[in-house]
Amino acid sequence: MIDTHAHLHLINRNTKDVLAAAKEAGVCHVVQVAIDLPSIHKNLNEYALMPNCSITGGIHPLSVSDGLELDEVLAVLKAHVDAFVAIGETGLDYKYGKDNMALQKIFFEAQLAFARAHEKPVIIHSRHCDEDMLELVNQYSDVKKVFHCYATNYAFFEALEGDQNYTSFTGMVTYAKKGKIINAMRQVPMNRLMIETDAPYLIPRGVDVAQNSPEHVGHIAQHIADFRGMTFEDVIDQTTKTAQSFFSI
């Protein structure tokens, strides 16, 4: 299994212990995702050195501010571009970031353009912004992108232009038996679907822990298998191959 989206720097446990527990649970690789400049530097200085761990570089929409220089961010990304398996996470968040939606768009489009220029995939955070998101990303239909923590309807996926669009599902799917997320999870082509924990957030149902961690990603795979009428092994095989291809890992 590959946990395609975790924030190891936010888990209040020794990272080596976290990765060891993940390996014991059958997780062969973790993608450690940046959200701001400090986590980008931490990725480069610490997580890039850890076995079976790949890093990203990007600015989360809720991390943008007037005090953050976009040119500085792009300079850091460019200086270390070969170290990153993806740009992100970046995107738009209109639920918690209503006060700076315009600035979010500027940072998001700049990171999409950077990814295109450097032929990198993009990890996208998309919350309550479907219309603006589609308008922006469909200008970058040639850029490989994954909509992490997919939480909208299947119609959104159908409206995406090009053949470079992927989804990733989290522990959210373990709490529902119907609804837009479950319907999307059932309908997205299997070769466009990945699994993630978004650790330390989104603890799967039935897991009694204070914080989520990569070792629990199998719960998402099992729910996908149940809802799609597949075996657990087939879900793991397909999502692992898709993640390996998407991130070139």
Q: Compute mean pLDDT per 10 residues along the chain, 249 residues long, and list them.
A: 98 97 98 98 97 97 97 98 98 97 98 98 98 98 98 98 98 93 97 98 97 98 97 98 98
How confident is the model at residue 14, as a pLDDT? Answer: 96
Domain that residue 184 falls in: 2-247
CATH number at residue 86: 3.20.20.140
* Sequence-ordered list of residues with C-beta below 8 angstroms from that of 137, at least 6 positions apart, any chain: 112, 124, 143, 145, 160
How confident is the model at residue 210, as a pLDDT? Answer: 97
Q: Among candidates 123, 64, 126, which has minimal Cα distance to 93?
A: 126
Which three-class secondary structure state does DSSP give residue 188? coil
Cβ burial of 225 (10 Å; 0-12, 13-18, 19+) is middle
Which three-class secondary structure state does DSSP give residue 33? coil
HSE-up (13 A, CA, CB side) for residue 202: 23
User: How many domains does the chain contain in total?
Assistant: 1
What string of DSSP letters covers 89-150? EEEEETTT-GGGHHHHHHHHHHHHHHHHHHT--EEEEEES-HHHHHHHHGGGTTS-EEESS-
How confident is the model at residue 42, as a pLDDT? Answer: 98
Alpha helices in the chain (DSSP H): 15-24, 37-45, 70-79, 101-118, 130-137, 154-159, 180-187, 217-228, 232-247
Find tokens 């795979």 and name the residue: 221
How confident is the model at residue 177, as a pLDDT? Answer: 87
Find tokens 């400049």 and name the residue: 37
CA distance 123 to 3: 13
